[in-house]
Amino acid sequence: MQLRNVTLPKENKWKITEINLTVPVEFVLVGFSDIPKLHWFLFGIFLFIYMIILLGNGIVILITKVEPTLQTPMYFFITNFSFLEICYVSITLPRMLMDLCTLKGNISFHACATQMCFFLIVGATECFLLAVMAYDRYVAICNPLYYPLIMNHKLCKQLVVGSFAIAIPIPVDHTYQIFSLSFCKSYKINHFFCDIPPLLKLACGDIFVNEMMVYLSTLLIVTVPFLLILVSYSRIISTILNLPSNTGRTKAFSTCSSHLIVVFLFYGSASITYLKPKSIEYEGTEKILCLFYTTLTPVFNPLIYSLRNKDVTGALRKFFPTLLAL
């Protein structure tokens, strides 16, 4: 790690003594370098996963754009969610693949800050967008007659833009606060990308306020949308159970189950990572959990939304024969 020494000048008026501060120029992402014999094997697995994520989410975006029957608010939100998933993995996976290939995890101070900031922004946006998607299902099932009027195209765009806008301030502030700390314990980040928990472990001095701010903001970003989702689905389930026909119940449950599976996959692993007690610190487990919600969940999402959805599977059957005919 390269270091630069910053010397505070002497001030006779205030009698400030000379202090040497060590500011890191770069960090080292440890990642999976502790198992170098498997680095090409891991490189192949993660490259395959990355290609599957790009292909799967890309197909979802494509068919929802070209298929007329999928031009509805629900698929508009699914399209935006798939786009976010591509951005989500592209922030971390290409960097991890490069580190596995070179076995060098050097990352500059500013690149680390940028990676963490964008990762947090996209993750927070996904949380709010999942809440928006739950609201969409609530209106569709609980107020079907007013659904086209309420969920018009203008409101849908505003909800997506709003999800981005709400998600930006807190991650930016967190990134500024964390990278304003002094890092004196080590320059090695025991992770495969720059994230809040491993960086706080390297900070020196009293970081209690920073830890509390992270905890409270995580509660705000994760818990508030999750509670909104629970409220929406409690109303949805109550409405579904009161439907007169079994066919109507089955169809309603089918359209909601995919979204619920994605919600629990994403929120479950992310909540354990950021809200677990400080006493529970198993770095290997933390890496596995991060792998789950940063790589495996984006792999599952296209499968969940396509295989469990008759409209999407029907569009896929129409799309691929047309593509092959071209």
CA distance 90 to 112: 14
Burial environment of residue 164 by CB neighbours within 10 A (0 to 12, 13 to 18, 19 or more): middle
Q: For the chain, what percent of residues have pLDDT higher than 70?
A: 80
Q: Is the pTM of this model over 0.75?
A: yes
Task: Answer whether residue 258 shows pLDDT above 80.
Answer: no
Place of tokens 């996963």: 49
Residue 281: the pLDDT is 52
CA distances 237 to 60, 241, 284, Å, are: 27, 6, 38
Residue 275: the pLDDT is 63
CATH class, 3-308 region:
mainly alpha
Q: How confident is the model at residue 273 (pLDDT cuts 50, 70, 90)?
A: low
Task: Answer whether residue 43 shows pLDDT above 90.
Answer: yes
The rounded radius of gyration (Å) of the Cα atoms in the chain is 23
Q: Using N-to-C axis directions, what is the helix angle for 153-167 and 169-178, rounded to 10°?
A: 10
Mean pLDDT of 42-58: 93
Q: Which residue has the higher pLDDT, 240 or 244?
A: 240
CA distance 113 to 115: 6
**Least confident piece of the model among 108-112, 178-182, 302-306:** 302-306
Using DSSP's 3-state secondary structure scheme, residue 22 falls into strand
Task: Answer whether residue 268 shows pLDDT above 90.
Answer: no
CA distance 165 to 225: 15
Residue 182: the pLDDT is 86
Instruction: Identify which of 124, 106, 131 has the alpha carbon closest to the alpha carbon of residue 196.
Output: 124
CA distance 64 to 111: 34
Q: Which residue has the higher pLDDT, 64 or 258?
A: 64
The whole-chain average pLDDT of the chain stands at 81
Q: How confident is the model at residue 1 (pLDDT cuts 50, 70, 90)?
A: very low
